[in-house]
Structure 1
């Protein structure tokens, strides 16, 4: 790639980054999208709750988006991994794994998060297929089915309440001693929620589709879907090295304009919000692109 300086570099070329690229491309901005091709939903067979694309494969959505963005000749793509960034007098310098250096006045991180999956045999294979994180994205497809939730304490109680909207055939697996209060336990039992405190050994599944939860005491429970919210970390460590603040949950802090606490650095998509969905990623990316364009206009006018 001959061009090395851009007005905006977007690190992360999934839904939020692509949406920002379209917004900036239509604003006639010189943009570089750096992406390593590892979206967090790469194992998910279908995306839902996004109008005009409901039920489509995530890879099809992103491929179609990229084709549409390539119409805007001011937007370029770089297939690779950004590993370092430096603040410069004129903006920022982004260094890739292969050693290439690109500069820009503004940077948008749309880098998502990395889920830290538990060491339960079969969990990783089922993640995004039949082990789900969001009922709004996938709950309709498993409505009224035998469903389990892996969670404990306050989170387990609230998660069970939420999922009960989609199915009444529900069991809560605390994967160890329950941290529910006596009141919470009774409320769940009154609503027909079974509670399993035994530690989970593995999942019996076929090509990612769960059949049974196998506990360490040998008990087996048949289910068609599981909800879980494993811990996560930022997929990209660069914002932290630049001084960007994070929340207690580990999300990049942004204001209402998708700005981080570091001037010139913006963030959007899953790395900034617990509401992880394609629709929200697209929304925040599009808005971030418009805000970045306006900031460049204000600086130059």
Structure 2
């Protein structure tokens, strides 16, 4: 068979796109390798009616709802190649199975590259996080910190001050802040440390202090380590779609890429901020575009 739309990626964007298309009576292949980026997260926040839900429970509920629609087919596999054809797209999974589709949505999200600091992954998702809107509430009024190797650290520091006034800003040995910026932060009682970080120290996932390369340390209960985001989708060489300056899949305002019949939803096109509710909404929006394009073609 040939699907009307295949969706690569089973995060919030892909799930919501499949829901909208399923309700539009479109035949959908939702292809998911079951490796969600937020798997280490204990709870997702900021999505009304689902605040505090675990990522695994979110996915369980989503698939239970999706599979109520007979035209939605869930394929748990990994895609290794995608090719443009006269009829649409041919997608091949890791087992060599061929999936044909008229339209294709890439909703593979992004990958996070964190600073290489010893101990980070022992605390990530427990007392170290990367999204203030997702986890700032849980660290409110505690001694916290932010580590970033990006000049946006100044903006992030001002943002975090809303959740805790006991804040340390760490640049991990880089010169990212101007003297004016440092003075502004220090005027609010925010400590700025520009020394390289050696390790995060603590027990059972609970951070206790940050140790610097010169042997000094600062006690902290938790904090935020800001990653660099890179594109997860490995299909650019095969399809030739354009990228944004920040590395996301470039789309127009309706979610269409530079390749006919190819769309991108959610973090794959760098929807900001990176939150479940934003990605889900983007998946819904792009699905409506796909459905309208299919409808117009049927009437031509």
Q: TM-score, normalised by structure 2?
A: 0.95
**Is the 8 Å Cα contact of residues 4 and 26 (structure 2) preserved in structure 1?**
yes
Which of 70, 74, 83 does residue 77 from structure 1 map onto? 74
Give a deviation string over 1:93-127, Cα, whole Å, max 9, x none.
10111111101010001101111122211212322
The change in CA–CA distance for 1:244 and 1:261 in structure 2 (over 3 A counts) is same
Aligned to 1:300: 298
Aligned to 1:57: 54
Q: How far did residue 153 of structure 1 move?
A: 6.2
Aligned to 1:260: 257
Q: How does 1:11-26 map to 2 (within 5 A)?
A: 11-26=8-23
1:287 is aligned to 2:289 = no
Q: How far did residue 239 of structure 1 move?
A: 4.0
Give a deviation string over 1:129-156, Cα, whole Å, max 9, x none.
3222221111111111111111256312
**Is the 8 Å Cα contact of residues 153 and 181 (structure 1) preserved in structure 2?**
no
Distance 1:190 1:183 in 2: 11
Aligned to 1:48: 45
Distance 1:197 1:190 in 2: 17
Distance 1:14 1:72 in 2: 18
Distance 1:239 1:300 in 2: 29
**Is the 8 Å Cα contact of residues 153 and 178 (structure 1) preserved in structure 2?**
no
**Is the 8 Å Cα contact of residues 152 and 180 (structure 1) preserved in structure 2?**
no
- Please identify, of 101-110 and 243-252, the stretch whose mean Cα deviation from structure 2 is larger: 243-252
List alignment gaps of at least 5 residues for structure 2: none
List alignment gaps of at least 5 residues for structure 1: none
Kindly report the root-mean-square deviation, in angstroms, between the aligned alpha carbons of the 2 structures. Answer: 1.4
Misfit runs of 4+, over 4 Å:
none
Q: TM-score, normalised by structure 1?
A: 0.95
Aligned to 2:223: 226
1:121 is aligned to 2:118 = yes
